Amino acid sequence: MVSRKDIAREAGVSPTSVSYYVNKSGYVSKEAGERIQAAIDKLHYHPNLVAQSLKKKKSKQLVFLCNEIRNPFYSQLISSATTAAYNHGYFILFSNVISDQKYIQEICSYQVSGIFFSNGRMRKELYDTIRQNQVPMVMLQDINWNIEDGDMAKIVIDNSMIFENIMKHLKEQQYSRVCYVSGASGREETQIDEKTKCFQKASGIMSQSLVLYDILSARDSYEAVRTRFRRENCPDSFICSNDAVAVGVLKGVQEIGLRVPGDVAVVSYDNTDQSMFANPSITSIDIHIEKLGQTIISMLIDKIQGRTVEDYWIEPKLILRESSLRRK
């Protein structure tokens, strides 16, 4: 294995100069830097990241905690964030284990540099574990659930406004019996997520509304529609927690003999590629995934470097497509 001493010998400089150059921690002249880089390229030297993390007591790893990795939203978000992180010299690890305190503690013990938590509501003991380990954190949260803590940077989304706009659109299109397809369990009040609560509040303008809980994938939503509804009792509109779920609803509704659009409208969240290329294309909430991934990394790095970080507000937009057209 090539060492820094080997690089120093090849470049004709001291090992300290090589360390300064590699770690960007001290002055190295332009000429010496060029010789060091030439030696690195020639000898195919790669820094030992584990050793660096032990010495600095921090790794170059950022952790994404996501509650549903199968959701295409996260694949697009992580793709954007990974590129942004790499450009700043960081790497991303991701996991869908977000409710186990012991697991969160183990993550912190690996000396990760920062954590992004995607779930809109975090149990206090999990948040306290991250804070006690002094790991910088950014959280995606709903405007209606607020942690007053200057140590955490927040990405805020106003789900109340989003659902009001969706309901207004559906009513204008003459739909009145709406169903929200939720990923929350719904078994306890504390487990009902903010999207579901905002739906329940906004759905008051409709004549009928209901919620399907525990729907996490296209297969879940497809099977729920096929087993729960028939032509005569199916809601005339569905709002889905993400685009993958919407695709399952779309197929389920079509297989019980109803038209989308026309008989039934489908609206979704995230505006991933799935919503654009479904047949029919699906009306979806655009939360600007590419920019969001870049913003998460920027906020985390600012936190890591000790800078003040302001909350970032997502400005969602309802992208109208075929699936929610006016009833004929």
pLDDT on residue 163: 87
- Bigger pLDDT: 10 vs 196: 10
pLDDT on residue 279: 92
Hey, what long-range contacts does 300-304 have (CB within 8 A, 24 or more apart)? 300/62, 300/113, 300/114, 300/116, 300/136, 300/138, 300/153, 301/88, 301/90, 301/114, 302/153, 303/114, 303/136, 303/137, 303/138, 303/153, 304/113, 304/114, 304/136
Distance of CA 182 to the CA centre of its chain: 17
Residue 327 reports pLDDT greater than 80: no
User: If pLDDT is split at 50, 70 and 90, which confidence band does 198 have?
Assistant: confident
Mean pLDDT of all residues in 202-226: 83
Rounded CA gap, 245 and 249, in Å? 6
Encode pLDDT of 95-151 as tens digits.
Answer: 776 677 788 888 888 788 998 987 655 677 777 888 888 889 898 876 555 555 556
pLDDT on residue 132: 84
- Bigger pLDDT: 202 vs 301: 301
Residue 286 reports pLDDT greater than 90: yes
Rounded CA gap, 311 and 152, in Å? 9
Average confidence score pLDDT of the chain:
84
Residue 268 reports pLDDT greater than 80: yes
Residue 73 reports pLDDT greater than 90: no
pLDDT on residue 148: 56
* Predicted TM-score (pTM) of this structure: 0.75
Residue 205 reports pLDDT greater than 50: yes
pLDDT on residue 107: 81
Name the most confidently modeled range: 10-19, 116-125, 207-216.
Answer: 10-19
Return the residue matching tokens 């954190």: 137
pLDDT on residue 98: 66
Query: Domains in the chain, please, with CATH?
Result: 4-47 (1.10.260.40), 56-158+288-315 (3.40.50.2300), 160-286+318-324 (3.40.50.2300)
- Range list of H helices, the chain: 4-11, 15-23, 30-43, 49-56, 72-87, 101-109, 124-132, 159-172, 194-202, 218-228, 243-255, 273-277, 289-304
Mean pLDDT of all residues in 50-54: 50
Sheet-wide strand order for 283-286:
208-212, 177-181, 237-240, 265-269, 283-286, 317-319
User: If pLDDT is split at 50, 70 and 90, which confidence band does 187 have?
Assistant: very low
Residue 262 reports pLDDT greater than 70: yes
pLDDT on residue 157: 84
- Bigger pLDDT: 203 vs 60: 60
Mean pLDDT of all residues in 249-268: 95
Residue 13 reports pLDDT greater than 90: yes
Mean pLDDT of all residues in 149-163: 79
User: If pLDDT is split at 50, 70 and 90, which confidence band does 230 have?
Assistant: very high
Cis omega before residue 280 (within 30°)? yes
pLDDT on residue 54: 46
